[in-house]
Amino acid sequence: MADAKPSPESKAEIDRGFEQLYRDHLKDVYSYAYYRIGNHHDAEDLTEQTFLQAYRHYARARRESDGRPLRPWLIRIAHNLAANYHRDRSRKPQTPLDSVEPPATRHSTEDLVEGREELRAVIENLQELPDDRREALVMRFALGMDNREIARAMGKSDGATKVLIHRAIKQLQERLEAGEVSPVEHG
């Protein structure tokens, strides 16, 4: 009698599940990477690295998730890779913020043009916030994650995450009102 261990999922089932996860969250992971890194090329690389790492651990993550969404897990992987990116490049020159363009959104081109200078001021001020506050705001407003997802992605409690987001919003608002970083003038 063959020693047949029941396999909870076949490789094909795992691959199909991961393919769906990829399709569902590619835009979110890329957006997060873009906001963390600041340029499209490196954000694409970080997104690719995130999904490669996620694929290696997907079956285990799915088993351990108890049916909870895996988006916070993916963002956590991207978060760790972005931290490594910044640590590895801390001595190298970075892309100036005035050359950063916002990623494509669902809004019309006219809407984007009207808000471009305001958006630049927000992005510039956002870059000046402490890492945890900046990341919480990106997850909340750029990715539309709820507090529980953000807490899971950042490894914090729900309460600590709520306070973090509140303080981040308050600090960003104070910086914008004080005009600490002004938008770049285009002539």
**Does residue 52 form part of some domain?**
yes
129-182 pLDDT per residue, tens: 888 888 888 888 888 888 898 998 888 999 999 999 999 899 988 888 887 644
Euclidean distance between CA atoms 149 and 121, whole angstroms: 27
pLDDT at 183 over 50: no
Number of domains in the chain: 2
Assess if residue 4 is contained within a domain. Answer: no
pTM for the model: 0.62
Indicate which CATH number applies to the domain containing 122: 1.10.10.10
Domain presence at residue 45: yes
pLDDT tier for residue 90 given thresholds of 50, 70 and 90: low
Instruction: Judge if 179 and 150 occupy the same domain.
Output: yes
The last residue of one of the domains, among 55, 70, 95, is 95
Residues 118 and 160 both lie in one domain: yes
Q: Is 73 exposed, middle or buried (0-12, 13-18, 19+ CB in 10 A)?
A: buried
1 within some domain: no
The predicted-structure confidence for 92-129, as pLDDT tens digits, reads as follows 555 555 555 555 545 555 555 556 677 677 778 788 88
Residue 24 placed within a domain: yes
Domain that includes residue 83, residue range: 11-95
Read off the CATH number of the domain in which 17 is found: 1.10.1740.10
72 and 107 share one domain: no
* CA distances from residue 120 to 26, 33, 138, 181, 182 in whole angstroms, order as listed: 24, 17, 14, 10, 9
Same domain for 133 and 78: no
Sign, CA dihedral 85-16-59-56, equals negative
